[in-house]
Structure 1
Amino acid sequence: MSSARQRNRYFDALSTTPGLMWLGQNTNHIPAHPAVKAAMIAAIEAGEFNAYAPPLGFEALRSAIVADLGTPGAEALVTEGGVSALAMVCRAYCKPGTTFVTTDPTWKWPCLFARQAGALVIEIPIYDTACHYRLTPEALKAAVDERTAVIYLVDPNNPLGIRYTREEIEAFAAIARDCGALLVHDCTYRDFADGHYPALHAAPEGAVVSLSFSKWLGLAGLRIGALVACPKILDRCAEAATSVLGASVIAQRAAQAGLQVKPEWMAEVRRIDRANKAKIKDAASRIEGLALPIYPSHGNFLVVETIGAGIKPEALVEAARRENMMIRQGTYHTERFGDRFVKVSTSVPEAWVDTFCDRLPALVAQARTLNDIGAQF
């Protein structure tokens, strides 16, 4: 069986599991805000889905995205999820003979897109207490040169949850400017972070921000995201677009409604998220060998190290699956460090996390007995 078919069947089995607790994809499963549901229903009842959306997105949504990011002078391009936005950037800027510089861990898919375009991917290791689990300007400067087309920064980092300061972002922007690279600031998790600083403030003509509505607003299945950049960069990216007929009309109406109620919505989401993190931290601290290397996380997830407990992350993932819980093995994010940890999502109903924490001792015990584990993705 091809890996693509195997991967599809893996997720199809998860998707068709009744009552599955999604605790591994950083998706938001807190019940939707009534205004967001009403906007989708109104769009469906009006038959708006019979027509294509504008290719760059509805103007009202484009303006609202820029206003929410606080980057006047920039423009937004609405995409079919954040992953499509990043694929567009890679197609526009990466080619044979160029390099794509990022961290390890990072989000894996832009690395794939860069390689597909012919670029050499350089991953700077940051899973280390010596660098406090973060990219340093010194490490970045040593990894770039005149070949560097893209510097890709996930901030807050997925899966570690660290958040970069304004001073660090400004230093990264200066390095990108000096070597002629585009600074791609993946801000998917910015709404869970305190003090987040978009790179467009530091480099309005040399950076692009990618955004997603999957995580903070819970629209993962609707596939909607955005790129935000100056008109010149946005035009170059738009020329590489494959979604030339616009993103989902229903998703865009949901996103518009979500931005209108965002302060109210995120106050409750973050309350639940913080409570869930505290519960997981407490539960993990009661099991010898488990550890949380980064706490608190600025993303809607936590890294739980299993290496000290002598169990494989894949075994714990499989034990959780047998209890109708989906958590993520570290190798999804990084081959180099993936044997150390699992990742657990926290923007979920508190009852899910209560169940996970209650069963964690038994899951660890069962993981010690598992050897024959199928492929995980």
Structure 2
Amino acid sequence: MSKTMSTALIRNRYFDELSATPGLYWLGQNTNHIESHPAVREAMVRSIEAGEFNAYAPPLGFEALRSAIVADLGTPGAEALVTEGGVNALAIICRARCKPGTTFVTTDPTWKWPCLFARQQGAEVIEIPIYDPACNYRLTPEALKAHVDERTVIIYLVDPNNPLGIRYTREEIEAFAAIARDCGALLVHDCTYRDFADGHHPALHAAPEGAVVSLSFSKWLGLAGLRIGALVAAPALFEEFAETATNVLGASVIAQRAAQAGLAVKAEWMTKVRGIDRANKAMIHEAVSAIEGLSLPIYPSHGNFLVLETVAAGVRPEALVECYRRQGIMIRQGTYHTQRFGDRFVKVSTSVPPPWVETFCALLPEMVAQARTLNDLPPQF
């Protein structure tokens, strides 16, 4: 065995150490740590007590959950494929469409893992820069049109964008759908954070036959560790993706029961969650405004997170991340999302208990001061 530890092992041990940190404040992965709705907990307990986990789930998901997902998205006639997290849905789509000689077009910043899946299949990944106030930190139809051609098989749109938190309008989604249709590409609309946004418009409404939506229960419902998500598409696309799906024995039974219970109480639950989320963002906004050089380039965010820009304050994002880690608080460095712009910002999650954010804000002046002097940093992922 090599004496040099692989990057994969270093990465795993990094997160293993975070997971083993007693009372860690998870403020870096956009996960939801607000206490679960009683109905969701009860559904999981009933499933465990009934021993449902002894058997496999249906390969496409329980029919009641599939129907509830389609109804919640407001796309009658579409079909839902339940997956092991939203990331698995995106892996299935990339596996089905990407191959050598094709292009996968997205933004920069974006969510990194679908880019990896596309490259694994041999596709060229094209990232259109949007970290710029000149374009309001968003993709424009003109920019997208300039980067697609007959080789483009997927246009991947994270909306609201992770990490920026911008949300596209109905008109923008319709324009993107038209561009995808003209070049023969599939519009993949990653709607992981749609439930934190006002006025979100799923691409299936604009392109019922030419788009697919990916969804996650990790963020709004707080089920990140249970790995439950879905893709939703017209019947023909659904059949295509079902043929290339890797979760052939179904997603977690317990997770599916929790997801179904969550959808049944979603209106009540998200009213609570979004109220806490908004208040947390306001606290961070006030704390950042008090420190010269720090800023929130996008405020308010349509996701359950904020980008905190550090470059004008003379602070390396990685140094600020390390200072907070030593205090038992996890935030995320920008390079997780983008090599091109990652030296400008950190990302802070806001769907968390208010005391976590209060502590983050109280420590901010001291952490910034410490970060300016911190040079020797361990690897971060």
* TM bucket normalised to smaller: over 0.9
For the pair 1:152 / 2:161, whether they are aligned, the reply is no
Alignment of 1:197-216 (within 5 A): 197-216=201-220
Moved over 4 A (4+): none
In 2, Cα distance between the equivalents of 1:369 and 1:34?
46
For the pair 1:56 / 2:66, whether they are aligned, the reply is no
What's 1:143 paired with? 147
Q: Report the alpha carbon displacement of residue 242 of structure 1 after superposing the two structures with TM.
A: 1.2
What's 1:77 paired with? 81
What's 2:16 paired with? 12
For the pair 1:350 / 2:344, whether they are aligned, the reply is no
Unaligned residue ranges in structure 1 (runs of 5+): none
What's 2:223 paired with? 219
Alignment of 1:1-377 (within 5 A): 1-377=5-381
Deviations 1:272-300 (A, max 9, x none): 00000000000001011000000000000
Amino acid at match of 2:96: A
Q: Report the alpha carbon displacement of residue 237 of structure 1 after superposing the two structures with TM.
A: 1.0
In 2, Cα distance between the equivalents of 1:260 and 1:242?
28
In 1, Cα distance between the equivalents of 2:209 and 2:332?
37
Amino acid at match of 2:338: T
Amino acid at match of 2:39: A
In 2, Cα distance between the equivalents of 1:219 and 1:18?
20
Q: Report the alpha carbon displacement of residue 245 of structure 1 after superposing the two structures with TM.
A: 0.2
The percentage of aligned residue pairs carrying the same residue is 82
Deviations 1:297-337 (A, max 9, x none): 00000000000100100000000000000000000000000
User: What is the total number of aligned residue pairs between the two structures?
Assistant: 377
SS in structure 1 of the partner of residue 106 of structure 2? strand
Q: Report the alpha carbon displacement of residue 234 of structure 1 after superposing the two structures with TM.
A: 1.0
Q: TM-score, normalised by structure 1?
A: 1.00
In 2, Cα distance between the equivalents of 1:145 and 1:233?
21
Amino acid at match of 2:127: E
SS in structure 2 of the partner of residue 185 of structure 1? strand
Q: Report the alpha carbon displacement of residue 248 of structure 1 after superposing the two structures with TM.
A: 0.0
Amino acid at match of 1:66: V
Q: TM-score, normalised by structure 2?
A: 0.99
Q: Report the alpha carbon displacement of residue 198 of structure 1 after superposing the two structures with TM.
A: 0.1
Amino acid at match of 2:197: A
